């Protein structure tokens, strides 16, 4: 029989749901984890040739963590030990308790939970959002607080229209 692993195991009594994906998956996702597990935060690129457990897989662009679907159909963020098991496991530092039914991680409605070393705790500040590839590269390349100098002081005092709206859908958290 297969006993459960050590801590960090998240199992659900619900089935894995459908593995049918209706629309193309996001190529780039951004995970924010302000209250713990900074190694899980960052940009994750789609691993186009890999679908463990019948679902898409994303790898962090600058780290050794993956966003994967457990065999139970829940999105999880794991590391090298989960990778060695070919993601045939339900262990994670951060996971979404909602069974996704084939929905991508940025579209699943439900609370993400964080492992504290003993148990999982709901953390409403964990967010998974789609990031455009250009936005992702721009965010990685631009340092905060730097602004191009304006050469024209003769224009009116009306605010200049900014062409990039990075705020997007921020603030729409699951309750």
Taking only the tens place, the pLDDT of each residue in 64-119 is 999 999 999 999 999 999 999 999 999 999 999 999 999 999 999 999 999 999 99
3-state secondary structure of 121: strand
Is 130 within 8 Å of 46 (Cβ atoms)?
no
Q: Please check whether residue 17 is in contact with residue 94, taking contact to mean a CB–CB distance below 8 angstroms.
A: no
Q: What is the pLDDT of residue 117?
A: 92
- Is residue 92 within 8 A of residue 141, CB to CB? The reply is no
Does an H or E element contain 69, and which? strand 66-69
The mean pLDDT value for 122-150 works out to 68
Quote the DSSP letter at residue 146.
-
pTM attached to this predicted model: 0.67
What's the pLDDT tens digit per position in 28-54?
999 999 999 999 999 999 998 899 999
| pLDDT at residue 35, as a whole number | 96
Burial class of residue 55 in the structure, from the number of CB atoms within 10 Å of its CB (0-12 exposed, 13-18 middle, 19+ buried): buried
Q: Using the CB atoms, write b or e for 151-169: b if 16+ within 10 Å.
A: eeeeeeeeeeeeeeeeeee
pLDDT of residue 5: 35
Decide if pLDDT at 166 tops 70: no
pLDDT in tens, 8-23: 655 443 444 445 545 7
Sign of CA dihedral 10, 11, 17, 18: positive
Identify whether the C-beta of residue 72 lies closer than 8 Å to the C-beta of residue 99.
yes
């Amino acid at each position: 029989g297969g006993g459960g692993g050590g801590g960090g195991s998240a199992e659900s009594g619900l089935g894995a749901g459908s593995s049918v994906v209706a629309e193309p998956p996001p190529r780039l996702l951004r995970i924010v984890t302000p209250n713990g597990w900074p190694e899980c935060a960052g940009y994750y690129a789609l691993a186009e040739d890999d679908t463990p457990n019948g679902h898409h897989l994303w790898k962090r662009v600058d780290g050794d963590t993956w966003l994967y679907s457990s065999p139970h159909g829940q999105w999880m963020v794991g590391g090298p030990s989960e990778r060695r098991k070919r993601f045939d496991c339900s262990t994670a530092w951060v996971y979404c308790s909602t069974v996704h039914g084939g929905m991508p991680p940025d579209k699943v409605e439900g609370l993400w939970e964080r492992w504290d070393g003993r148990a999982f705790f709901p953390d409403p500040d964990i967010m998974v959002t789609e990031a455009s590839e250009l936005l992702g590269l721009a965010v990685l390349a631009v340092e905060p607080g730097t602004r191009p100098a304006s050469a024209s002081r003769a224009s009116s005092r009306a605010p200049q229209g900014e062409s990039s709206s990075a705020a997007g859908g921020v603030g729409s958290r699951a309750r």
